[in-house]
Amino acid sequence: MIQTKKDYRLPFGLETSFVFLFTIFTFSEGFIQFIHHKLSYYITKPLLMIFLMTFFYYKTQGAKTCFAWRMFVGLTFSLMGDIALMFDEDNAYFLAGVGCFAIAYLAYSYAYLRNILDHRYYNSPVNQLTLPIPYAVYGFGVYYILRKNLGDMELPVVSYMFVITTMGILAALRVNHTTDDSYRKNLLGAKLLILSDTLIGLSRFLGIQGAWIDPSIIMAYFFGQLFTVLGSIEHVRVIETPVNDPVLTFSPEEKKIL
């Protein structure tokens, strides 16, 4: 392993501890949603995102890469969207939240796109043609179900659905352009974020209610952000950062990938 003056990577035990704590906090947030304790919700929801952003920054602060910067921009706008949607009884706040999340997921999408273009490894034509299909079909299917209930919100909702579908497609197309671990985590993160937004749409526009829906939305969302962050950290450490980087260190297995 390369010897460096300073190593910004958390020890494995601390990284595992973070994931464990974040999982506990996410289930706690789901319980808060279940009992509809508004005050706790207003405090804990933004704090969870700030916790995740701090972890991401700490893990990538030595790697000044465009990928890391784009993902951090996405996390920042996600936090802003979280705050706006806490007051979503007002359509203006709901639209502000949707706009913030659209920018966040566009930042994620652009990071994935640049990863694909900047690290050109072989990807079969079959993959390139077939991987986007499930996401396109899913996006159209959700729109078809919601279309009669959208009213004046049709254009914003359709535009937002296009953004999250694109994010899912680009996350899927990263296969063979990053490590397997980063690919799987980012793809799972994208799927969970799409699931969370789908549940929001079904709840808001179709009136689907139940004790399960709010906890499901919040847990899918935070686990989606968690896996997005974990996959991005893996990509930055192993792919984006040169082997002789003066700050980050690499294991022999990581150097083989490079």
Asked whether residue 71 is domain-assigned, the answer is yes
Asked whether residue 230 is domain-assigned, the answer is yes
Please give the sequence-ordered ranges of beta strands (E in DSSP) within the chain, or none if there are none. Answer: none
DSSP 68-85: HHHHHHHHHHHHHHHHHH
Counting the structural domains of the chain, the total is 1
> Which CATH number covers residue 235?
1.20.1070
**Tens-of-pLDDT digits for all 258 residues of the chain?**
333 334 444 445 667 888 999 999 999 888 888 887 776 777 888 899 999 999 999 888 766 788 999 999 999 999 999 998 888 666 788 889 999 999 999 999 999 999 988 876 656 677 778 889 999 999 999 999 999 998 888 999 999 999 999 999 999 999 888 999 999 999 999 999 999 999 999 998 888 888 888 899 999 999 999 999 999 999 998 877 654 444 344 444 444 444
Asked whether residue 3 is domain-assigned, the answer is no
Tell me what pLDDT residue 145 has: 93
Tell me what pLDDT residue 121 has: 67
Output the pTM of the full model. Answer: 0.83
Q: What are the CB-based long-range contacts (under 8 Å, 24+) for 3-7?
A: 3/249, 4/246, 4/247, 4/248, 4/249, 5/246, 6/62, 6/247, 7/247, 7/248, 7/249
Range of the domain at 138: 12-257
- Say if residues 192 and 224 touch (Cβ distance below 8 Å): yes
CA distances from 166 to 25, 133, 194, 197 (A): 29, 11, 11, 14
Q: What are the CB-based long-range contacts (under 8 Å, 24+) for 200-203?
A: 201/142, 201/146, 201/157, 202/145, 202/146
Residue 203: closest CA among 224, 189, 217? 217
Asked whether residue 5 is domain-assigned, the answer is no
Asked whether residue 2 is domain-assigned, the answer is no
Q: What are the CB-based long-range contacts (under 8 Å, 24+) for 183-188?
A: 183/231, 184/231, 185/227, 185/228, 185/230, 185/231, 185/234, 186/112, 186/227, 186/228, 186/231, 186/232, 186/235, 187/231, 188/224, 188/227, 188/231
Asked whether residue 7 is domain-assigned, the answer is no
Burial category of 8 from C-beta neighbours within 10 Å (exposed 0-12, middle 13-18, buried 19 and up): middle
Tell me what pLDDT residue 183 has: 95
